[in-house]
Amino acid sequence: MGYGFQWHAVGKRKTSIARVWMRKGSGKVVINKRSMDDYFGGHDSLKMLLNQPLVLTSNQEAFDIYVNVAGGGIAGQAGAIRHGIAKALMTSNIDLRPALKRAGMITRDARVKERKKYGLAGARRRFQFSKR
């Protein structure tokens, strides 16, 4: 990580939790000690998703971002990182809050998988009905 002033935030999505550290830099994004391109591979839509807060606030080249993310799948992790970056940007400059809030990036997406109920095949799916 090194020295210097930095901002920290935690982002969440489904069961993924991303701890984000941000400091002045050249626009480098490191996720679990790997580059963003290495971590997300060919998933360009996920790379675009987590860059949205930076693009919206015109800070693509202004900060180096270090992320530690765990839990869930790759899409949930990308959403958690996006949430964490948006919150970290907000702590670095409170004037960015209205734009981030309008775009819905500060709000925690509370949708999670519904639990399976007894007597059913899944959360809501019934077992197949047989007349005979």
pLDDT tens figures, 62-109? 999 999 999 999 999 999 999 999 999 999 999 999 999 999 999 999
In the predicted model, what is the mean pLDDT of the chain?
Answer: 93
CA–centroid distance for 112 within its chain: 14
**Owning domain of residue 76:** 6-102
* CATH code of residue 11: 3.30.230.10
Report yes or no on 109 lying in a domain. no
The verdict on residue 83 lying in a domain is yes
Q: Provide the number of structural domains found in the chain.
A: 1
Distance CA 36, CA 87 (A): 19
Q: Which two tokens stand for residue 101?
A: 């809030």
